[in-house]
Amino acid sequence: MDVFWCLLLALLLLHQATCTSDGAELTGAVGRSVTFHLKNLGRKATAWSFHNDVIVTVKFGNPPEATFFDDNYKPRLAFPKNGSALTISQLRMDDAGTYTAKTSGVKATFTLHVYRELTMPTVTCVAQNCSAGGCIYTLHCTTLGSGSGNISYNWSTGGLSWQEGPTVLVEESPLDKPLIPLTCTAQNPVSSRNITVISPSALCAGTYSSRQAGIMAALVIGAGVLLAVVIFVIYCKSKGWRIFHLPTAEAMNTVSCWKTSCQPTKKELGAQP
């Protein structure tokens, strides 16, 4: 029983000696800033670490006193609220990670996620299928760039959400009213960008239907074969090669000799000088 109470007392003293707050997660954008706020800090010096490496210690005051252990952070760190918070400006992708603030009796952990802001999305016409009854267009929305995290796409029309995802099918009939402009919105954790398509038919004006695409593919292949033949003929002429036809009898004799490795006859030998 005494051992139990001793262990319990040791755990209580350890908890009192170091109180760790639940890790907070923050999100920042490349080129912008983020601030870590500390609570119940008191007026004691705080050591800030990144991946367990101390980068700076800050003594509470107006102004606060900072001692840097990594000068690479010096131009980008600030200590608002008399040193009870830490601000990192001009965020970079490699700033993402775990930050820890320690004082005597207090430990706080922060996890920072850094993403790039999205570029303006683009909408392309993937395919169109037209008939007497109208046209069906396949539109695809995308935005380029690495380090953007998870990107979601939403199509809306008239201010109302219409469909989720980067690809949408649009049907247009001659009997229907003109289509309301479509807006594609791309969003990631730090930014949102959108683009509006006024007329799918105008966007798809230079896009072939599936049947036309097959015909064009056949024409391209045929043109490639014809070009290869022309290049071969030109190459043969440049080497001085000639293509000619043997009479049928001579051709048969040539084939026969090739198979039997025939030797010249006595008559042919006597005719030689």
Please write the tens of the pLDDT for every residue from 8-28.
Answer: 333 333 343 344 555 699 999
The torsion angles phi and psi of 235, rounded to 5 degrees, stand at -65, -45
135 vs 187, higher pLDDT? 187
**189 near 34, Cβ under 8 Å?**
no
Residue 42's pLDDT is 60
Residue 193's pLDDT is 96
Mean of per-residue pLDDT scores for the chain: 77
**Amino acid code (one letter) for 56:** V
Average the pLDDT over each of 12-16, 53-57, 209-213, 218-222 and give the range with the smallest value.
12-16
**119 near 144, Cβ under 8 Å?**
yes
- Which of 164, 181, 162, 163 shows the shortest CA–CA distance to 172? 181
Domains along the sequence of the chain with CATH: 17-115 (2.60.40.10), 122-203 (2.60.40.10), 214-260 (no CATH)
Average the pLDDT over each of 67-76, 99-108, 192-201, 207-216 and give the range with the smallest value.
207-216
Dist CA 268 CA 273 (whole Å): 10
Q: How many residues does the chain have?
A: 273
pLDDT band at 96 (very low <50, low <70, confident <90, very high): very high
Residue 205's pLDDT is 85
Q: Rounded mean pLDDT of 206-229?
A: 55
How many helices and strands (H and E) does the chain possess? 6, 17
Q: Is the peptide bond between 121 and the residue preceding it cis, with omega within 30 degrees of 0?
A: no
Which pTM does this prediction carry? Answer: 0.64
The alpha-carbon radius of gyration of the chain (Å, integer) is 39
Question: What is the per-residue pLDDT across 102-143, written as a single tens digit (0 to 9) for each?
Answer: 987 788 999 999 999 999 999 999 998 888 878 899 999 999
Q: Rounded mean pLDDT of 83-87?
A: 93
Residue 65's pLDDT is 93
**Amino acid code (one letter) for 69:** F
- Which of 162, 154, 157 shows the shortest CA–CA distance to 197? 157
Residue 95's pLDDT is 96
Distances (CA, A) of 43 to 16, 61, 63, 146, 251: 18, 8, 13, 42, 108
Residue 177's pLDDT is 72
Residue 125's pLDDT is 94
